[in-house]
A = this chain, B = another copy of it.
Amino acid sequence: MVHPLPLMRNLFPAILLMLSATFAAAQSPPSIRVVPMPASVELGSGRLPIDRSFSVSVTGYHDVSLDRGIQRFLSQLSRQTAIPFWTKTGSAKATLVIHTARGRERVQKLGEDESYTLLITSARAELDAPTPLGTLHGLETFLQLVEPSADGFTVPVVTIHDQPRFPWRGLLIDVSRHFMPLDALRRNLDAMAAVKMNVLHWHLSDDQGFRVESRRFPRLHGMGSEGQFYTQAEIREFIAYARDRGIRVVPEFDVPGHSRSWFLGYPELASGPGPYALDGNASPAMDPTRESTYRFLDKFVGEMSGLFPDAYFHIGGDEVDGKQWDANPKIQKFMRAHRMERNQDLQAGFNRRLQKILSKHHKQMIGWDEILHPDLLKTIVVQSWRGQQSLASAAKQGYPGLLSHGYYLDLMWPAARHYAVDPMSDAAADLTPEQKSHILGGESCMWVEWVSPENIDNRIWPRNAAVAERLWSPQSVTDPDSLYARLDALTLRLEFSGLTLRSSRTLMLRRMAGAEDVAALAALADVLEPVKGYARSKGLAQWDFHAPLNRMVDAVYPESDAARRFTAIVQAWLAGGHTDSAAEAQIRAQLTAWRDLDAKLHPLLADRALLQELAPISSNLSALSAAGLQALDHLDHAQPSPDDWRAQQLALATQAQQPSANLLLMVAAPIQQLLDATAH
């Protein structure tokens, strides 16, 4: 599930293809700027003003949790408009009347009714939902509808009937490789609620850190976390915070591999002699042949089952490195005695024992693809990270499944690429309806090898909203242009809810520059993206999770909006036979600005250790932009460019598309297209 280096080798050309395909055709703007797009939207005419007279009344069922949700709604509406609403609840003739039919399950359950209906006229609004989950979703939709206009803040007249396509819409956050403080997680829960995601998959332990206080086994967090863990009180409060937002928290404790951090305090669990450290590349595994291992896990699962109320318990189970098993004579003897030929059989045996332990503690097992084995009960949920094929194959065998392959946010793909991955497409397209019913949804994954609390927000958002929409909206909602237009609005909205998905880059640029005015540096950052897939890890001799994440690659957004827009304009202009002079003027102005940027940046880049690696990129951008401007001149005069000049510039364009400082210059490709066009 992490760093399968070969997998993504050919990612880069794929992205370019994707961008080209996506932006070839301009499409009509979306009817409403809401993510995920509701199941049914009927747009009327007119708008309902959101001004100081706005008020809310609550009818039908309510409880303290829902009351808090409505209070949050008002606070958020205040943040978006700066109109103070705190005294405005409870009025009889309210602008927004909320009606909830009944309460929720004590512990949020997979498949609880999340539907709602939102009716907005030019005079008032009504939100109806069977349960508070639907009410919360409807309020989020309402907030996204609020926009400033010439007449002040308004929402459109609209009728929305909405419910999710899949019941399991999750986000995995790894907190082992880099610890994420609770405030970072809480603001991401807020953002998940904004896009109606309902599961936080909390990857709490891995080789590099064990992040939960265990009172039964205090050396787990005591020796396995460098002091960076969550107390049980914090976890209880955090789960309550998530529940208030309609989000289940599913804990993952990855076993029997990915478990080095356990062994610092409890080396007797391991299959090899140790000693163990949090640093390093070794991938030891638990010893599945000793009864003491299961006694430990029984007590451990018992303690954690009391802490995490969700019905599901994720046991990881991925990427078990067999080296320790192969090297341990006792384990080899055990395997021979039990006629186990492969390590997979040993792991299956381990999982069977673990499943019994989970059942005893009233938990349903969930794990990664590798746990799939005919011996396991059909109630286990298989989370597919290796491909859509394994999800389909699990469904065929009757196992409930979740798709994560295609939803790895750490691979730095563009939103449109995640958006194009559907749990029911590809191998799953051929399943029978009964088999399809086993597919519960999916989860995006935020692995944090290269992520800090400072940049996690922009690593997850807004791209994660593409996955959220894929899992909520009807399968037919697929237009990436519409998605991107709505992501722009969402980004704005999320920053108001406290996410730092835009502001943190500014701060990081200021740190590198040591100056407040970073406009020029930001202009460079705007056209850069981090390298894709696992390219950044590829050259590493050894992981170092204490290394500062303070370089440009850590600051730039995973997807460059500026490059996406520039590419679209260039391609449309070329496709139109270079006749659109307004578009050409735009291209020319942009290329001029990029050409002149290096002169502004050069002294700064030379004078800052953290920026020196950007000098060649900035210089490439300048040279390529100059070439692009010359290409425009050739195209204007309908004269082919000289072959040797073109060859030289194309060589530069090719070179500029190579990763440098773990960065990609995303406008090199569209400039290359301009150069190509001057050939005849």
Most buried by B among A502, A548, A549: A548
Within 8 A of B (CB), among A412-454: 452, 454
Is A506 close to B, CB under 8 A?
yes
Which single member of B84, B454, B496 contacts A548 (CB below 8 Å)?
B84
A546 and B52 contact, Cβ closer than 8 Å, known pairs A86-B228, A511-B80, A511-B496: yes
> Beta-carbon contacts of A110-153 to B below 8 Å, as 1s and 0s?
00000000000000000000000000000000000001111111
Within 8 Å of chain B (Cβ to Cβ): is A389?
Answer: no
Q: Does the CB pair A550–B492 fall under 8 Å?
A: no
Q: Is A92 an interface residue (CB 8 A)?
A: no
Knowing A491-B516, A503-B506, A510-B495 touch, does A84 contact B52 (C-beta < 8 A)?
Answer: no
CB contact list, A143-170 vs B, under 8 A: 147-153
Interface residue from B80, B496, B516, B608 paired with A148 (Cβ < 8 Å):
B608
Interface status of A488 (Cβ within 8 A of chain B): yes
Asked if B515 and A492 sit within 8 Å, CB to CB, the answer is yes
> Is there a chain B Cβ closer than 8 Å to A597's Cβ?
no
Give the CA-CA distance A38 to B121 in the complex, in Å: 63
In the complex, the chain B residue whose C-beta lies closest to that of A522 is B519
Interface flag for A25 (CB, 8 Å): no
A612 & B87 in contact (Cβ 8 Å cutoff): no
State in angstroms the CA–CA spacing of A514 and B502 once bound together.
15
Question: Contact: A607 with B511, CB < 8 Å?
Answer: no
Complex alpha-carbon distance, A608 and B151, angstroms: 7
For A519, the closest partner residue in chain B by CB is B519
Cα–Cα distance between A83 and B554 once the two chains are bound (Å): 13
A227 interface residue, CB < 8 Å from B? yes
> Please, which residue of chain B has its CB at the minimum distance from the CB of A606?
B150
Cβ-based interface call for A512 (8 A)? yes
Residues A492-519 near B (CB distance < 8 A): 492, 495-496, 502-503, 506-508, 510-516
Whether B147 and A514, one on each chain, are in contact in the complex, defined by CB atoms closer than 8 angstroms, is yes
CB < 8 Å: which of B495, B510, B548, B608 contacts A52? B548
Collect the chain B residues with CB atoms within 8 Å of residue A81's CB: 511, 548, 550
Residue picked from A84, A227, A512, A554, most chain B C-beta under 10 Å:
A84
Given contacts A491-B516, A506-B503, contact A148 B511 (CB under 8 A): yes
- Name A211-234 residues within 8 Å CB distance of B: 226-228
A24 contacts chain B at the CB level, 8 A cutoff:
no
| B514:A548 contact, CB within 8 angstroms | no
Q: A226-B87, A514-B492, A515-B492 are in contact. Are A149 and B550 (CB under 8 A)?
A: no
Q: Within the assembled complex, what's the spacing in Å between the Cα atoms of A526 and B118?
A: 41
Chain B residues whose CB sits within 8 angstroms of the CB of A550 once the complex forms? 81-83
The 8 A CB mask of A161-191 against B (1 = contact, 0 = none) is: 0000000000000000000000000000000
Judge whether A652 is part of the interface by a CB distance below 8 angstroms: no
Q: Does A599 contact B (CB under 8 A)?
A: no
B511 close to A82 (CB less than 8 A): yes
Residue pair B608, A82 in contact (C-beta under 8 Å): no
Smallest CB separation, A131 vs chain B (Å): 28
Considering only residues 533-562 of chain A, those with a C-beta below 8 Å from chain B are: 546, 548-550, 554
Alpha-carbon distance A546/B495, docked complex (angstroms):
24
Give the docked Cα–Cα distance between A549 and B78 (Å). Answer: 11
Q: Is A16 an interface residue (CB 8 A)?
A: no
Report Cα–Cα, A149/B227, bound state, in Å: 32
Let me know if A609 is at the binding interface, CB within 8 A. yes
* A610 lies within 8 A of chain B by Cβ: yes
Q: A83 — nearest CB in chain B belongs to which residue?
A: B548
Give A152 to B508 CA distance when docked, in angstroms. Answer: 15
Residues of B within 8 A of A546 (CB): 52, 84, 87
Task: Name the contact of A226 in the complex, choosing from B52, B86, B502, B515 (C-beta under 8 A).
Answer: B86
Contacts of A503 in B (CB 8 A): 503, 506-507
Contacts known (A82-B454, A503-B506, A507-B496); A513 close to B148, Cβ less than 8 A? yes
Most buried by B among A514, A549, A607: A514
Q: Which residue of B lies closest to A610 (CB)?
A: B148
List 20 A-B pairs, Cβ < 8 Å: A80-B511, A82-B548, A83-B548, A84-B546, A84-B548, A87-B227, A147-B514, A148-B513, A148-B514, A148-B608, A148-B610, A150-B607, A150-B609, A151-B609, A153-B609, A488-B516, A491-B516, A492-B515, A503-B503, A503-B506
A-B contact sample (4 more), CB < 8 A, given A84-B546, A149-B608, A492-B516: A86-B228, A150-B612, A152-B610, A502-B516
Identify the A interface with B (CB < 8 A). 52, 80-84, 86-87, 147-153, 226-228, 452, 454, 488, 491-492, 495-496, 502-503, 506-508, 510-516, 546, 548-550, 554, 606-610, 612
Going nearest first, the 6 A-B pairs with the smallest beta carbon separation are A82-B550, A148-B514, A152-B609, A83-B548, A82-B548, A503-B503
